Amino acid sequence: MLLTLNENQKQAMSNLLRRAGSPDKAVALQAQAEIAAGIQTPLRKAVLSGDVVTNMFKPMDYRGNRYIEYPLDIINPGQQDDFRAYVIPQEGAIPEARVQGDFLMIPTYEIGGSIDCRLRFLRDANWPVVQRMLEVLEAGFIKKINDDGWQTILSAGVDRNIIVNDTNAAAGQFTPRLISLLQTIMRRNGGGNSTSMDRSRLTDLIMSPEAHIDIRSWGLDLVPDAVRANIYYANENNQDLIRIYNVNLMAMDEFGDDQEYQLYYENELSGTMAASDVEIVIGLDRQRDDSFMMPYKEDLQTYEDDNMHRRNLFGVYARMELGFAVLDSRRVLLGSL
């Protein structure tokens, strides 16, 4: 980090360095402590939100396009029996069976944000304030995109009206049986039969950190001792903790009892869980890029607000235009524990 000091600050730093070398041990130790604390600025740095959604959705560049259209299949899920072959007599015309297509469009919307500060603060702050302001501004957009994306996924899950739970488990306990039940329900409710192409399959399971760490508490009634030993010695990125029954397990801080997305599910979506269960888990089928879409019409553009300079301020604003869609709710399956 580059330190640029004005004259007063240079004098203060010189005094501090002289005191750090003082023959008086008490004075020297105090000055040395002040130097050590002064290096890691700014203090009490907030931890900003990171991206937890764009690895779920497929970003699609629609800049320059007015409409975002996706064609739908000629038959809807559940209509397969309308096209079953049947016995026919020796004479007579086989009836017609008309199909037609359909399409849907994904609407986009604009989001914006800004950040500004006094010019005097920029001048006297003695650390790269502008860089940090841009980080905060960017994090604001990341947080908004996280929330909108996951709220779309949760809405699709609620719309499907299926919630899976392990009746043998205690409330709030994550069990291997919950994973296998989710796998079965995902397969059963995705259509097709045992030899169908493109059958639904549970590929990812998102849960709270508290649920995820239940794995370390699994007893012999849930997993064999050899597996328990592996789990005991595994770090948090070990396969024994992040992949079970060929399903990727992911812990997200926004899920869990009384956490942000759990509250959104309960309060905004009026979602329900099995009696005495405390939190939801989200199962996804991400075999194909045919459902989780994030089209954007305008990428994040950042501008400096020149009008603020006259007011002794420095400001930056930004905006982008994007949309979210879960085009096939069969790719989402909710569970509870």
Partner 1 sequence: MALKPNRSVTSESVHYFTVNTMNEGFIVAHMTGYFGTGAGLDDANQAVYLPAAWPSGLRAIGMNGLKVVNKDLSETPINPYNGEHQVGDKTLVYKKGEFVTNAIKAGQASGTATNLPRPAYAGHGGYLYTGTATAAAASGWPQVGVFLTTVNSEGYAKVALDLP
Question: Which stretches of the chain bind partner 1, using CB under 8 A?
Answer: 66-67, 103-105, 107, 109, 144, 268
CB of 34 to partner 1, least distance (A): 37
Q: Toward partner 1, which CB reaches closer, 174 or 324? A: 324
Is the distance from CB of 333 to CB of 164 less than 8 angstroms?
yes
Q: Toward partner 1, which CB reaches closer, 70 or 218? A: 70
Q: Toward partner 1, which CB reaches closer, 218 or 317? A: 317
What phi and psi values does residue 304 have, to the nearest 5 degrees? -90, 135
CA–CA dist 66, 64 (Å, integer) = 7
My answer on whether omega of the bond before 42 falls inside 30° of 0, hence cis, is yes
Is the distance from CB of 310 to CB of 227 less than 8 angstroms?
no
Is the distance from CB of 119 to CB of 312 less than 8 angstroms?
yes
Q: Toward partner 1, which CB reaches closer, 33 or 105? A: 105
CB of 220 to partner 1, least distance (A): 48
Cα dihedral sign, 284-182-50-265? positive
Q: Toward partner 1, which CB reaches closer, 151 or 173? A: 151
What phi and psi values does residue 22 have, to the nearest 5 degrees? -65, 145
Q: Toward partner 1, which CB reaches closer, 53 or 186? A: 53
**Beta-strand relationship, 292-304 and 58-61:** parallel
Question: Can you name the residues that pair with 336 across neighbouring β-strands?
Answer: 165, 280
CB of 147 to partner 1, least distance (A): 9
In degrees, to the nearest 5, what angle opens at C-alpha 100 toward C-alphas 98 and 106? Answer: 165
CB of 23 to partner 1, least distance (A): 54
CB of 117 to partner 1, least distance (A): 17
CA–CA dist 46, 156 (Å, integer) = 33
How does DSSP assign 47-71, residue by residue? PPPPP-STTTSEEEE-TT-S--EEE
**What does DSSP assign to residue 94?**
P
Tell me which residue has tokens 């524990």. Answer: 337
Q: Toward partner 1, which CB reaches closer, 99 or 105? A: 105
Tell me which residue has tokens 């030899």. Answer: 195
CB of 93 to partner 1, least distance (A): 35
CB of 67 to partner 1, least distance (A): 6
Give the Å distances, CA to CA, from 233 to 182, 212, 220, 240, 248.
Answer: 27, 16, 16, 10, 19
Q: Toward partner 1, which CB reaches closer, 140 or 335? A: 140
CB of 197 to partner 1, least distance (A): 27
CB of 104 to partner 1, least distance (A): 4
Q: Toward partner 1, which CB reaches closer, 122 or 133? A: 133
Is the distance from CB of 246 to CB of 275 less than 8 angstroms?
no
Is the distance from CB of 143 to CB of 47 less than 8 angstroms?
no
